[in-house]
Amino acid sequence: MTVDAQVEIIRRGAVLIESEEELRAKLAQGRPLRVKHGADASSPRLHLGHAVQLRKLRQFQELGHEVIFIIGDFTARVGDPSGKSETRRLLSKEEAEHNARRFTEQAGKILDMGRVRVVLNSEWFSKMKFEDVIGLASKATVARILERDDFAKRFAANHPISVLELLYPLFQGYDSVAIDADIEMGGTDQTFNFHQARALMRAHDMEPQVLLTMPLLEGTDGHEKMGKSLGNTIDLIDTPAEKFGKIMSLPDHLMTKCFWLLTDVPEADLTALDQGLAGGTLHPGELKRRLAREIITFFDSAEDATAAEREFDARHKADADAESLRSVADDAPLSLSELDGGRMWLPKLLTGLKLVGSTSEARRMVQQGAVRIEGKRIADFDVNVPVRDGMLVAVGKRRVVKVALRG
């Protein structure tokens, strides 16, 4: 493949390539390039934010280049301060190793791990002597390190910054020296660290790596960067139904960005989608459905995507039915003293609410599929159901009540 064709593929979705001229020169050499991607293994779960970068790495694989995962089992015990307003909790060796294993397992959903070189940075850092650390520290100034946006904000706010954190950009940069990286790829929050790596490589008389940054994907809240600590992630190991539901809850303004970064939909089609949204000829809900199907098909299967959509529609219909019934339901008193741990045997609940006249009628109604709680059909007769005030219980279409718990 020509250099121009490769650059066009690599450029899709990228925020910064520094520099494209250097990238073209490396590609023109006609050899597989060493593409570095670092992971500090701070979490055992990968989400769609990680997938943005992993998909770009897969493109490098398809172009014939070598992907090198630097698993920061050593630096995870330091903690990458990028984007953080406070010092991170340090991981134990055992936690870092566990997270590293889980990281590579889940990355296999996107990458051909048989063609990925996985390297632990403890391989070189655990052998360093203190004089080596001194030599590394001499390659940067405090003024330069404090130019990092997160450090600058913390310093201005008089928030603590440990010396260990100040060294982190040097540690990450040295990883590139250790493997002689041609390209380093990651999120835009890593830009400072990538520049530090270029400086360190020059200091070691090496050709500096090209840096390539990808956008940070917002989470389900639509504002903050997708991250476990914020509870706004769509995880790769979520079930297809969970993925579908979470994608349907994404804000409309994220749709084009998600299609651009998480699917292989051609650029011309993306332009049409964007125009359809802006012009009102395309409903955001339909676009979210397509996005959910695309993502679930990629990570699971087309069959899983179809089943997840059906489950979503069934659940949505049940919720709509419950809301419709709620408007015609009468309050039905029920004594709190009759509950056992907040639950009640279903036949007793139905008779207590005067929806059926006997246990045998309750059984018959369940068998006929006529019993619903909060719009969801109950198929098991002999169950203890959780009871809450305001809960909607229906037998058939005309017998509907709203539980009113009394002391």
- Residue 379 region by backbone torsions, left for phi larger than 0, else alpha for psi between -120 and 50, else beta: alpha
The sign of the torsion formed by the CA atoms of 86, 89, 91, 92 equals positive
Query: CB-based contacts of 20: which residues, under 8 Å, 6+ apart?
Result: 7, 11
CA distance 51 to 247: 14
Per DSSP, 280 falls in state T
In this prediction, residue 61 carries a pLDDT of 96
pLDDT for position 87:
46
Give the contacts of 140 (CB within 8 A, at least 6 positions apart): 169, 170, 196, 199
Predicted TM-score (pTM) above 0.85: no
Question: Residue 193 pLDDT more than 80?
Answer: yes
- Containing 35, the helix (H) or strand (E) segment is strand 34-39
Location of structure tokens 């997708």: 226
Q: How far apart are CA 284 and CA 52, in angstroms?
A: 22
382: tokens are 């002999």
Question: Tokens in use for 212?
Answer: 């390539």
Picking from 39-48, 300-309, 355-364, which range would have the lowest pLDDT averaged per residue?
39-48
Residue 82: pLDDT over 60: no
Report the pLDDT value the prediction gives residue 301, as an integer from 0 to 100: 93
Say whether 322 sits in a helix, a strand or coil. Answer: helix
Tens digit of pLDDT for each residue in 358-407? 998 999 898 888 898 887 888 888 889 999 888 889 888 778 888 888 87
Give the helix ranges, DSSP H, for 28-126: 48-62, 93-107, 122-125
Q: What's the pLDDT score for residue 41?
A: 63
Residue 321 pLDDT grade (very low, low, confident, very high; cuts 50, 70, 90): low
Question: Cβ contacts of residue 169 below 8 Å, gap of 6+?
Answer: 140, 145, 148, 192, 193, 196
Fold of the domain spanning 3-219: Rossmann fold (3.40.50)
* Residue pointed to by tokens 């660290």: 193
Beta bridge partners of 401: 330, 393
Which residue, among 314, 306, 284, has the nearest Cα to 376 in the 3D structure? 314
At the top level of CATH, the class of 240-323 is: mainly alpha
pLDDT band at 43 (very low <50, low <70, confident <90, very high): low
Per DSSP, 251 falls in state: -
The first and second tokens of residue 101, run together, are: 């294993």
Q: When comparing pLDDT for 52 and 319, which is higher?
A: 52
Q: What is the mean pLDDT of residues 100-122?
A: 87
Cβ–Cβ under 8 Å, residues 6 and 61: no
Share of the chain above pLDDT 70, in %: 91
pLDDT at 282 over 50: yes
Say yes or no to pLDDT of 307 above 90.
yes
Give the residue with greater pLDDT, 328 vs 370. 370
Write down the domain spans for the chain.
3-219, 240-323, 328-406
Task: Compute the distance between CA of residue 195 and CA of residue 59 in angstroms, rounded to an integer.
Answer: 23
Q: Is the pLDDT of residue 79 over 60?
A: no
Lowest mean pLDDT among 5-19, 198-212, 254-268: 254-268
Phi, psi of 117 (to 5 degrees): -90, 115
Nearest CA to 173 out of 149, 131, 206 is that of 206
What average pLDDT does range 48-61 have in this prediction?
A: 94
Rounded CA separation 264/58 (Å) = 12
What is the C-alpha to C-alpha distance for residues 28 and 211, in angstroms, rounded to an integer?
17
Question: What are the backbone dihedrals phi and psi of residue 276, each rounded to the nearest 5 degrees, phi first?
Answer: -65, -40
* CATH domain 328-406 topology: 3.10.290
Q: Are 349 and 282 in contact (CB under 8 A)?
A: no
Q: Please indicate whether the domains covering 240-323 and 328-406 agree at the CATH topology level.
A: no
Determine contact, residues 107/113, Cβ cutoff 8 Å: yes
Per-residue tokens: 147: 């130019």
pLDDT digits (tens, 9 = 90+) for 235-258: 998 999 999 999 998 888 888 889
Rounded-to-integer distance, Cα 167 and Cα 80, Å: 10
